[in-house]
Structure 1
Amino acid sequence: MKAVIMAGGFGTRLKPLTNNLPKPMVPIVNKPIMAHTIKLLKHHRFDQIVALLYYQPEKISTYFKDGSAFGVKIDYVKAEDDFGTAGSVKNAQELLDERFLVISGDVLTDFNLTDALRFHQEKGSIATILLTHVSNPLPFGVVITDNEGKIERFLEKPSWGQVFSDTVNTGIYLFEPEVLDYIPPKTEFDFSKDLFPLLMSKGKPLYGYVAKGYWQDIGGLKQYQSVNLDCLEEAVHVEIEGKKQDNAWIGENCIIGKNVIFDKQVVIGKNCIIKDNVFLSRSVIGDNCFIGENCEIRDSILWHHVKLGRSVKLLSDVIANDTRIGNEAYFEDNVFVSDHCVIGNRAVITANVRIWPRKDVEEGAVLSTSLIWGERWLRELFTNSRVTGIINAEVSPEFGAKLGAAFGAYLGKGNYVATSRDSSEAARMINRALICGFMSTGVNVGDLRTMPIPIVRYALRSGQEKGGVHVRQSPRDERLVDIICFDSDGRDLPVTKTKSIERLFMQGDFPRVSFQEVGKLDFPVRVMESYTESFLKHIDVSAIEKGKFKIVIDYSFGLSGQVLPAILGSLDCDVIALNAYPDARRSPRKWEDFRYSLLQLTNIVNSLKADVGFLIDAGAESLSVVDENGHYLNNELLLLLVTKLYLETFHPRRIAVPVTAPMAIDRLASTLGVEVVKTRDDHRSLIDAASSTSSHSKEVTSFVGGTRGGFIFPEFHFACDAMFAMAKIVELMALNKIHLGELARQIQPPLMDRKEVPCPWEAKGRVMRYLMEFSKNKQRELIDGVKIYYNESEWVLILPDKELPLVHIVAEAQNRKKVDSLLNEFEKKILRWIERD
């Protein structure tokens, strides 16, 4: 039978180990990954192999030749360009005239492919995806099947709100040859994003088979280490060469000295010399290695032709081919050394350092990086479009310069980028470091300096810049700094681009320009003026002027205090300003601070008999509101009131709100004939909804309301802007001649509540899988988490947190007792599902 091995990967996340080696050739217990794959294929009678090559193809074809030494026949197809996963297989169509299997060249597995083939045949499937359960589904495609295995839904690399299961696509497929007819030639085409949705839309039988056994995608350095250790612990069935002696597999022609201790499992390759008094534990030593006296090697992987001097200590490190390490060198954990390096005597290599090929470290040197990576960087750099870390620990000036250089390398020399920040000293420091990084790659920088985020987004709409960043001290924790990255249109940088920047950052070998090509730095003018002009054009100034409102505004020591007073001067309002000067140290971050600010706002509104009070967050993206009676309007009630005023004033045809919005909005919109679009409960989704149109009526979205005090009015701005939202709320009050407290008394307030359930990261996907099974025959919505409807006024939403080991439960009902009942019921279910295997 025939099989295709996708062997074209660059191995970007395995750098520096893959600088001079294609990813399928990286050794696992002394054999290339692809050799283990071929062994598995042959065992299940897939002996006619097509290897798809792209990066350093000759290193693969030279090693495997025609395959006869491995008991198979191998044909090689070299790609002319990167046509995606499906497009690459299409290039080999002439060789695939019968049923065939596709497997990635960078995974290690011992799946029973014979059982999977039998399932494929029994179901009469045109395409079968092999599936497995994982603790963290985010890097993979999540797949949902019915009881027969027929695929109902899948999502490629979802966010936590889209994780409906821990069952993922393994990148192993069984295909009938007719599948290739659906793939266009010489075109970028992907299995998950393009081919499978196309087959489903045409009603073709597409199945998923949950395979039992070991499967690990070797996506990064951490996974590479763990796979080798799994092999040592025999968690996966692979062939390890050598003669087993107690805890060690020892290759032929090895010389083992006196008092050598093999603690736990160890693999020693061929022709190795291990001198006296060496301690080895859970480690792999490649062929033709020399280990000097008194060395201590724990949880480490040495490739071939590595030489260690006396008294070298390694802890959880990887040393690539032909590297020499001097006497008494000391390596802390997670050090990765590429090929042909020389490490001098008594050198100290600190944790998480990576050394590129052919580098020399001098005798006695202490080598460290500009960033001592915490575990979050080893997991992922970006959370959505944001990088967050501890100031001067995880996010230092060196880190900022490196991130700026990575972003700049992605944008390309000669392009423009906008930078901005809040008023904190930490943001000033990191912003300047980012500017240096951008300029070092030839990118020109327009620094907007201190500027509210909505105005930064507004300025980027001109299209001159290819992207932007805003640096701020975190609104949640003063120890943290946020670096928010924008696309060329001011929207959040999409995942495809953040992943590309992250790859550049991780590999660290982006090009710097010559001194003649260093980017320019300037300071754009008239940004504020342009924003103000457009702001006033989209507000009914005369209506607000006639209202003669008395307004109290708490600026939260944020940047809106530098912008909004001048605008309000044109509206003839009596404004009492609180905390109107920028001071990032005093901006509310904790709930206690926020509650105190609200209490202060309430008291002042009452004492001055003001018409309304606003608390604008420091970033000027969201607001909280106190009515004329000094009552705080919670986010759900505020959303309902503003939506009601907007619908009855402007009569739009289409609006958007998050899945967490109260059901009263749906009932109100239904009576007025307004389409309500539901979105995920994050800013990026609200922004996307603001620019969407109806698929059947072509109606544009006129209003987007969030459940966290954010509002979007697309005719003015595509993003949440608390300054404009404040003015728009006052305009709605003026046009309807009503106060918010008066309106609130006319409606029944939504009865909702929330609960957080602690949930380990590795259990989140499992919890969502059991939830999907539980809710299978119930009315549900799968937009952001799983929302289960009981009737038109009762529902519960279960949503995994994006950044914390938590699961959120949100419930709405007609009475308090029912809300509490729903919250408690699902808390118990989640805790029970966490404990289930």
Structure 2
Amino acid sequence: MAGGEGSRLRPLTIERPKPMAMLGDAPVMEHILRLLRAHGFTDVIVTLHYLGSTIENYFQSGEDFGLKITYTYENEPLGTAGSVALARNQLTEPFLVISGDALTDVDLTALATAHEVCDSEATLLLARVPNPLEYGVVVTDDDGRIVRFQEKPSWGEVLSDAANTGIYMLDPAVFDLIPPGQQVDFSMDVFPAMLSGGRPLYGHIADGYWTDIGTLDAYRAANDDLVSGRVRTYHGPSYRSDGPTVDPTARVDPTVQLRGPVYVGRGSEVHAHAAINGPAVIGDNTLIAERAEVSNAVISGNVVVGVGASLEQCIVARHANLGRGVTIREDVVIGDRSTLADGSSVRPGVRIWPRKFVDEGVVVDRSLIHAPQARRTIFTHGGVAGLANFELTPEFAARLGAAWGSTLPVGSSVVANRDQTRPARMVKRALMAGLASVGVRVIDIGATPFPVGRFSCARFETEGATHVRTSPYDAASVDVRFTNPRGVDIRPTEQRKIEATFMREDFRRVGSASIAEITVASAVEAYQEALLRVVANPEITHRHVGVVVDYSDGTCGETLLSVLTRLGVRDTAVDASPVDIGTGGMAIQERLARLGRIVTAVGATFGAVVGPDGNRIWLVDEQGASIDSLTVIALVLDGLRARGIAGPLAVPFTVPNSLTSYASDLGFTPIRTQANVANMMQVSDGQQAVVAANGRNALAFPHLHPGPDAMATLVHLISAQALSDLSVSARVSSLPAFTLAHREVSVAWERRAQLMRVLNSHPDRSDEGDIDGVVFGEGSDRAVVVPDDDRPVFRVMAEGEGPVAAASLADEIEHLVASAAR
């Protein structure tokens, strides 16, 4: 299969198809063809699409490679299976499918033998990988029969570290699952259909080297591995792992220093006092001039590197011309036939497209002449985060807005809001400019809580919302979140679309007439009216509930104060005026201690701390005692039931069974979700839940909007208290004990996949469906293990018959996880 465009390898693949990217002294596809020949595969059908003639012109009939090659062309993309099916009339016996854009030395003979021994219709070659998140993961039983597929799972969903390599032995019988002329994919369509139909489908673990050259980092790493002798090749030089490999036709001056694994290709010249530090590749017919220094770089053929130039951890495509004293830093890619004049320099992370010219002395700090440093990944758990004005700069934010907007229709609208801080204001303004530049209208609702932004999606009928805030945990950082049209956090697949557009800088450009407007609109009043309708309860006014609310220096005070006044609540406001400099404020435990003192001093019914962005809430009772997050959920449910409201309750699998049992007794129907809030929102929205709660101080009421909402939670709690003759502390005492013991285990990032595989195969593991973690035990003796999305730790939460039993189980599971992680 050689039809791939290789968009993630741009600019290398703008003027060549991905299989023709050079690895060492040959295109990647040549390495694959020679591997096939070494294992006795001599009749080869090559499927082509993008720039296919380049491949056919290079390999022609295959005679020079000891092969017989024929070609098929896709007029339109047909998917991996659809493209192979074009040759179904020629494939009348078991055949091998292999990608032309991977580097491998795996034993294909062993794969063919395994396919025959198992009497399989499809045998997938699998490779153990340390990070399976970017691969299709395959789960097999002890006999190698495939029992499940996972497409690019999150860490919490990983069941195996065996990745699908895209190499298959297939029986012609699989063609009955591939309709002619339709777009069909092996991994997404054919294999799942075989699995569900019970057809023989096996996996074979590869022995040897395999890597998917899907990104520029992977491309450079594959070259490094090749010249370092980590992968076996079947032609050309025998690369040395401890020193240079120089083609006999190359000329290297005796004063040149070649350090480590270095390859110097055919007809190349390295002049006096130059230095090449490996691993490095110098392609054919390339000139490295006097005193130039090249370190850990991949330089393709016919390149000129000028006198005194310095290249470090970069990629240079064919026919580039780098002048005297040019400086190129790490993670830079120079496209084909580009020219960098004398004294110019390229900052880290820049991509220069083919056939560009950089004038003398120019410092290039942006891709395509002007773009900031590229990042490996821009999304962390739930959004984009970075140091304000250093990582999350106005330039970065404008590109981020353009990237998101490029995934939305021209002429569509989005809501934008922010917290009260200056960094958030700066980032949001740049973000809005980027959105407008790609034809997306922005409805700016100003400095308002995130729940108001989520609510406004439906009101304004937008494609989504974005919220910018200074992190309440790190005043130097800014977070940017995105939602879909329902106000639900965007899914990982949507994040990857934005990220791919951002990294490739493949922004849509519109004419001046289509540049969108930025409209200032009011949203708070509509949200307030909706909130009052949802919790309408005349008893609130009659009972004269008194509440002390700490607004954490955020924007919720401006939204909530008038709602409490209209409800007749006697409220005492603390830190209700927004602070615009993002100082970070007090820690939550300090706020709760202070809140408890104020509540008892003024004789309030209870007190609440509302998070600065309006997502989370913490409570104290009338005696100033802190109320745990699980009990807060129970108080809300108790109040809803008192008003005759019940229905689906969405809670993650990390919430203890004791709480879901209590909810069931009240008439609610618990629905388990994954541990992350985004999945909780998606499930609760789809299941029309009455309430959703993550067990970590975030509750949502999907009839208002699907996201966490501390303000709505507070008003529901006030309503519940107005219907009760008991004090808050008495109501808490009447509830069951929801005991949950917490532990954390440090686990290195590279050990995560292996640990998830071990935990998921443990005999004491309980199967609780599609979750992003692992469960042990059941009933009231139950522990869950969840990998943290942002830190190299696994979280352990255990419940039991009382605190002692819960702590004991937590210790036991902590020990199990720690032992498995070693």
The question of a shared fold, defined as TM-score above 0.5 by the shorter chain, is answered with yes
For residue 320 of structure 2, the aligned residue among 310, 320, 323 is 323
Structure 1-normalised TM-score?
A: 0.93
Q: How does 1:676-825 map to 2 (within 5 A)?
A: 676-693=670-687, 700-775=688-763, 778-781=765-768, 783-825=770-812
1:228 deviates by 0.7
2: CA distance between counterparts of 1:612 and 1:663? 27
Alignment of 1:269-288 (within 5 A): 269-282=265-278, 283-288=280-285
Q: Secondary structure at the match of 2:655?
A: coil
Percent identity over the alignment is 33
* Counterpart amino acid of residue 621 in structure 2: D
Are the equivalent residues in 1 in contact too, given 2:474–2:584 (CA < 8 A)? no
Higher mean C-alpha displacement, 244-253 vs 424-433 = 244-253
Q: Does 1:439 align with 2:436?
A: yes
Tell me which residue corresponds to 2:8.
Answer: 13
- Kindly report which structure 2 residues correspond to 1:293-692, keeping only aligned pairs within 5 A, or say none: 293-369=290-366, 373=373, 377-378=375-376, 380-462=377-459, 464-525=461-522, 527-585=523-581, 593-647=587-641, 649-650=643-644, 652-671=646-665, 674-692=668-686
Q: How many Å apart are 1:253 and its aligned residue?
A: 2.9
1:561-616 Cα offsets, whole Å, 9 max, x none, are 11111222221111111111112546756xx6111111111111112221121111
- Retained in 2: the 8 A contact 1:649–1:736? no
For the residues of structure 2 that align with 1:244 and 1:11, how far apart are their CA atoms?
Answer: 27
Displacement after TM superposition at 1:815 (Å): 3.6
Pick closer, same or farther for the CA change 1:265–1:799 going to 2, 3 Å: same
Aligned mate of 1:212, from 188, 194, 207 = 207
Question: Is it true that 1:64 corresponds to 2:89 in the alignment?
Answer: no
Local SS of the residue matching 2:133: coil
The question of whether the paired residues in 1 share the 8 Å contact of 2:372 and 2:395 is answered with no
Would the aligned equivalents of 1:54 and 1:78 in 2 still touch at CA under 8 Å?
yes
Q: What's 1:51 paired with?
A: 46
CA contact (8 A) 2:327 2:343 kept: yes
Say if 2:251 is the partner of 1:263.
no
Quote how far apart the aligned CAs of 1:495 are.
Answer: 2.2
Change (3 A) 1:748 1:298: same
- 1:696 corresponding residue in structure 2: none
* CA distance in 2 between partners of 1:740 and 1:116 (Å): 67
Equivalent residue of 1:235, what SS? Answer: coil
Higher mean displacement: 320-329 or 70-79: 70-79
Q: By how many angstroms is 1:148 displaced?
A: 1.3
- The alpha carbon displacement at 1:625 in A equals 1.3
Q: Report the Cα offset of residue 821 of structure 1.
A: 3.0
Once structures 1 and 2 are overlaid, which stretch shifts more, 140-149 or 424-433?
A: 140-149
On the 8 A contact 2:239/2:263 being kept in 1, the answer is no
Alignment CA distance shift 1:736-1:165 (3 Å)? farther
Instruction: Please give the root-mean-square deviation of Cα atoms over the aligned residues, in Å.
Output: 2.3
Q: Give SS of 1:225's match.
A: helix
Instruction: Give the secondary structure class of the aligned counterpart of 1:138.
Output: helix
1:174 aligned partner, one-letter code: M
Gaps of 5+ in 1: 694-699
- Please state whether the residue corresponding to 2:81 is helix, strand or coil: helix
| Closer, same or farther: CA 94–475 of 1 in aligned 2, 3 Å | farther
460-469 or 711-720, which moves further after superposition? 460-469
Alignment match of 1:190 (pick from 185, 188, 194): 185
2:808 counterpart letter in structure 1: S
Comparing 219-228 with 235-244, which one deviates more in the overlay? 235-244
- Aligned partner of 2:807: which letter? D
Q: Which amino acid aligns with 1:180?
A: F
Distance 1:365 1:804, change over 3 A: same
1 CA distance for matches of 2:573 and 2:48?
Answer: 65
Aligned-pair CA distance for 1:811: 1.3
Does 2:227 match 1:232? yes
Instruction: Report the residue type matching 1:451 in the other structure.
Output: T
> Is 1:39 equivalent to 2:1 in the alignment?
no
Contact between 2:639 and 2:723, CA under 8 Å: does it hold in 1? Answer: no
* Cα distance in structure 2, aligned partners of 1:682 and 1:22: 39
Distance across 1 between alignment mates of 2:683 and 2:221? 41
Amino acid at match of 1:605: V
Name the CA distance, whole Å, in 2 between partners of 1:47 and 1:672: 70
Counterpart code for 2:281: V
Compared CA separation, residues 676 and 180, structure 1 to 2 (3 A): farther
C-alpha distance in 2, partners of 1:312/1:270? 22
Instruction: Report the secondary structure of 2:801's partner residue.
Output: coil
Q: How far 1:337 sits from its partner (Å)?
A: 0.6
Q: Could you tell me which of 144, 148, 163 is aligned with 1:149?
A: 144
Relative to structure 1, the CA distance from residue 80 to residue 672 in structure 2 (aligned partners, 3 Å threshold; closer, same or farther) is farther
Name the CA distance, whole Å, in 2 between partners of 1:121 and 1:739.
73
Question: How far 1:831 sits from its partner (Å)?
Answer: 3.2
Instruction: State the alpha-carbon separation in 2 of the partners of residues 515 and 687 from structure 1.
Output: 38
Matched AA of 2:811: N
Residues 648 and 97 (structure 1 numbering): CA distance in 2 closer, same or farther, change over 3 Å? farther
Aligned residues, how many?
817
**Matched residue type, 2:598:** I
Following superposition, the deviation at residue 678 of structure 1 comes to: 0.9
* Whole-angstrom distance in 2 between the partners of 1:604 and 1:530: 32
1:468-512 CA distance string (max 9 Å, x none): 321111122111111112223322222222212211211124243
Instruction: Output aligned runs, 1:99-178, within 5 Å.
Output: 99-178=94-173
- Classify 1:760/1:53 alpha carbon distance in 2 versus 1 (closer, same or farther; 3 Å): same
Pair 1:567–1:747, CA change in 2 (3 A): closer
Deviations 1:798-837 (A, max 9, x none): 11111111111111112434333333333333333333xx
Q: CA deviation at 1:365?
A: 2.4
Measure how far apart 1:644 and its partner are: 4.4
| TM-score after normalising by structure 2 | 0.94
Worse-matched range after superposition: 102-111 or 427-436: 102-111
Cα separation, partners in 2 of 1:66 and 1:650, compared to 1, 3 Å: farther
SS at match of 2:71: strand
- Residue in 2 that maps onto 1:697: none
Cα distance in 2 between the residues matched to 1:584 and 1:708: 27
One-letter amino acid of the structure 1 residue matched with residue 565 of structure 2: G
The corresponding residue for 2:80 is 85
Cα deviation, 1:220-250, whole Å, max 9, x if unaligned, reads 1111111111111111112462487983333
Q: Secondary structure at the match of 2:407?
A: helix
**Structure 2 counterpart of 1:67, one-letter code:** G
Give the drift of 1:427.
0.9
**Contact 1:57/1:78 (<8 A) preserved:** yes
Measured after TM superposition, the shift of residue 85 of structure 1 is 3.2
Whole-angstrom CA distance in 2 between matches of 1:77 and 1:636: 61
Question: Is the Cα contact below 8 Å between 1:243 and 1:250 reproduced in 2?
Answer: no
Cα distance in structure 2, aligned partners of 1:575 and 1:130: 65
SS in 2 for 1:461: helix
Question: 1:632: how far off?
Answer: 1.0
